[in-house]
Amino acid sequence: MKKLIDRPESLLEDSLRGFALAHRDLVALNDHPHFLRRKVAGHTGKVAVISGGGSGHEPLHSGFVGLGMLDAACPGQIFTSPTPDQMVAAADAVESGGGVLFVVKNYAGDIMNFEMASEMLDCPFATVVVDDDVALPANHSTGRRGVAGTTIVEKIIGAAAEEGADLAACKALGDRVVQATASMGVALTSCTVPALGRPMFALADNEMEVGVGIHGEAGRERRALGTASEIVALLAEAIHHELQPAAGQTALLHVNGLGATPLLELYLVYEQACRYWTGRGVTVVRSLVGNYTTSLDMAGCSITLTMLDDELLRLWDAPVHTASLRWGC
């Protein structure tokens, strides 16, 4: 294993300091407990949008702190939920009279710790749970995982909160975006967790993991490595079956890299996916291509489709200024 680190146990803290230094015009780092908040606070009465999760998925969530998106992000250790005290401290720092909305990926640790934090808050709060991964059946015992669709949810809720939408409206909007979003990924290699010093799982050179989770969880199946067009067809068919879009509907298409796949390949995947849905009458009106919800150094990608209406499209286009997502400012 070759990694640009000093000691695995200090990797998160060292990285957070570097992130805060590189983007000191946008974010401020709180050391104990760790969280990142907007450097320029939102307006008085604004709903504070807070998310977080285990590190190793950068730029999710820290890279999305700023105007038009998150007010604060709580980074846990690698692939480990942040703690309730992080969430409470972040809420205390950014809540300005409009209450707190937590955006939580559907993992047991995240759900449990955000629920514990909610019970300690002295302000109104609500939670949006993201469960966009259609690799798992809807009736799976732990529910579906929250994956790359989280970026879409955070952007649209963040825009609404910036405009002055109240807590109930932001919560309802977030739930609506979750229902309109489906994702699925494929791994070509495993990821390597520095503290373990070895890959999470083994894949032969001629194998791929279809429906892999962003922590290296098993997918739907392991099968022979396919071509890009074959892989896109596998992922897109599962997403299309879930969302059942009608001809003429508009959509946002997000092709997300898992950490070690170059943009050259991701744009090829985007072209294939766009062709797939265009051939079925879906109009892809917005796109997002790149590494946004990663899994350390995993090679592979995920595809996310979000069905849009006029309101969701307007909120997606609204100004955003964060370290990793910015336009209209």
pLDDT (average), residues 166-192: 97
Tell me what pLDDT residue 132 has.
98
Per the annotation, the verdict on 241 as an active-site residue is: no
User: What pTM does this model have?
Assistant: 0.97
Angle at 301 between CA 221 and CA 34, to 5 degrees: 110
Q: What is the pLDDT of residues 259-289, one digit of tens each?
A: 999 999 999 999 999 999 999 999 999 999 9
How many other CB atoms are there within 10 angstroms of residue 51's CB atom? Answer: 32
Count of Cβ atoms closer than 10 Å to residue 128 Cβ = 24
The catalytic residue among 34, 61, 215, 254 is 215
Position 141 pLDDT exceeds 80: no
pLDDT tens digits, residue range 314-328?
999 999 999 999 999
pLDDT value of position 15: 97
Q: Which residues contact 275 (CB under 8 A, 6 or more apart)?
A: none
Q: Catalytic: which of 23, 34, 57, 254?
A: 57
Write down the residue that tokens 């955003």 correspond to: 320
* 57 is known as an active-site residue: yes
Enumerate domains of the chain plus CATH numbers: 8-180+316-327 (3.40.50.10440), 181-313 (3.30.1180.20)
Task: Using the predicted structure, report yes or no on whether residue 294 has a pLDDT greater than 90.
Answer: yes
Q: Average pLDDT of the chain?
A: 96
Can you give the three-state secondary structure of 89-151, one letter per residue?
HHHHHHCCCCCEEEEEECCHHHHHHHHHHHHCCCCCEEEEEECCECCCCCCCCCCCCCCCHHH
